[in-house]
Amino acid sequence: MLDNNHRIINYLRLSVTDRCNLRCIYCMPEEGVKFISHSEILTYEEMLHIVGLCVQKGIRKVRLTGGEPLVRKGLIGFLEKLCKIAGLEEVTLTTNGVLLKNLAADIKNCGICRINVSLDSLKPERVFRITGRDCFKQVWEGLEEAERVGFNPIKINVVAIKGVNDDEILDFADLTLKKPYHIRFIELMPVSEQNVWRPERFMSTNDIYRQIQSLGNLIPVKPNPYDGPAQQFKIEGRQGDIGLIGALSNHFCSLCNRLRLTPEGYLRGCLFSDQETDLKTPLRQGKKDGYLLQLIEHAIKNKPKEHGLLKYGPRKCIRRMHRIGG
């Protein structure tokens, strides 16, 4: 379905929980996080219902996110049902990888087509500093298991932060030589209460592009139609790709194809806008599908035109990243 700015909206990011087993410096504080109560979080049945309605309004790809999706109990049974929704062409998942080793085979068997694993450093002690947990070994074993059970490609999300991991850009890019990994460098976004975002920490995708140019000829790769606004390249002769997600520097709102559903059932058109549509209340009140479809259509049509971060500067949203789903 088209929004009021002529964009095709076909991609839903579904946050199944606000809980997480890590505390990444740019996402969740170590202490004082108020989690949503279980009764306020959508049940899996409610999520399946809403996704089914979104498919009727043109959604073709769903990405599971969070919080950390793998910490929610019963996820595999949910994935089995989600992947069977008629009309959905792709179901993918983003995880921090900590619990992946034991779940990769089941996730694959459900029909999840691709996974993204977030990993910001290849140095265990640095991963500890960024995530607050000593988890590098678990994440790496999770990646290897995902590869073993046949996920291909495996995407690795790297949030690039000056003074934290900017000296590892080429090491990550080098992984594409030996492995079919797609490395996606993401600009640090100003979405957290602890406010780690500072101009001096910000590394633009242009800075990253300049570094990886030193590794060889960068050949642009056409992204798949649901990928949204990532720039993709292959370094000549390598297995994997490089993706650059310039959420701030590259003004890509005109290409944005996404909607987001929060764990408590709010539909959002933009990560950086607090404009949201409550679907849980009418669903629990027993409102008819026709009514819910109208709300979804209204949310799609009125998706914000742009995030305005370049115009108005970084700002915080009322919900943190782990409550929206990054």
User: Biggest alpha carbon distance in the chain?
Assistant: 59
| Among ligand SAM, ligand SF4, none, partner that 23 touches (CB below 5 to 8 angstroms by kind) | ligand SF4
Site for ligand SAM contains 159 (CB under 6 A): yes
Among residues 27, 50, 110, 146, the one that binds ligand SAM under rule CB under 6 A: 27
- Phi, psi angles (nearest 5°) of residue 252: -100, 15
CB of 34 to ligand SF4, least distance (A): 15
> Do 37 and 145 form a contact (C-beta atoms < 8 A)?
no
Q: Which stretch binds ligand SF4 (CB under 6 A): 20-28, 108-116, 240-248, 309-317?
A: 20-28
Closest-approach residue to ligand SAM (CB): 326
CA dist 194 and 25 (Å) reads 8
Among 12, 53, 61, 67, contact with ligand SF4 (rule: CB under 6 A) = 67
Closest CA to 324 of 6, 77, 12: 12
Residue 20 makes contact with ligand SF4 by CB under 6 A = yes
By three-state DSSP, how is residue 298 classified?
Answer: helix
Query: Which residue blocks in 83-204 are alpha helix, DSSP H?
Result: 100-110, 124-131, 136-148, 169-178
Q: Site map for ligand SF4, 70-109, x if CB under 6 A?
A: --------------------------x-------------
The burial class, CB within 10 Å (0-12 / 13-18 / 19+), for 199 is: exposed
Instruction: Quote the tokens at residue 257.
Output: 């194809």
Pick the binder of ligand SAM from 174, 261, 321, 323 (CB under 6 A): 321
Laid out side by side, the sheet with 218-221 consists of: 218-221, 231-235, 241-245, 181-187, 154-160, 114-118, 90-95, 61-65, 11-15, 258-261, 266-268, 276-278
Stretch binding ligand SF4 (CB under 6 A), from 1-9, 17-25, 38-46, 282-290: 17-25
Smaller CB separation from ligand SF4, 15 or 232? 15
CB 193 within 8 A of CB 316: yes
Which part of the chain contacts ligand SF4 (CB under 6 A), choosing from 34-42, 62-70, 256-264, 293-301?
62-70
Which of the choices ligand SF4, ligand SAM, none does residue 256 contact, using the CB cut-off of 5 to 8 A by kind? none
The correct pick among 192, 231, 250, 262 for binding ligand SAM (CB under 6 A) is: 192
**CB under 6 A: which stretch of 19-27, 107-115, 217-225, 226-234 binds ligand SF4?**
19-27
List C-alpha distances in Å: 16 to 74, 218, 302, 324. Answer: 11, 36, 24, 10
Element spanning 49, H or E: helix 44-56
For residue 227, give every residue at least 6 positions away whose Cβ sits within 8 Å of its Cβ, in sequence order, or none: none
Question: Which of the choices ligand SF4, ligand SAM, none does residue 192 contact, using the CB cut-off of 5 to 8 A by kind?
Answer: ligand SAM
Q: Which does 95 bind (CB under 5 to 8 A by kind): ligand SF4, ligand SAM, none?
A: ligand SAM
118 binds ligand SAM (CB under 6 A): yes
Residues at the interface with ligand SF4 (CB under 6 A): 20, 22-24, 27-28, 66-68, 96, 118, 321-322
Residues at the interface with ligand SAM (CB under 6 A): 20, 26-27, 65-66, 68, 94-96, 118, 157, 159, 186, 188-189, 191-192, 321-322, 326
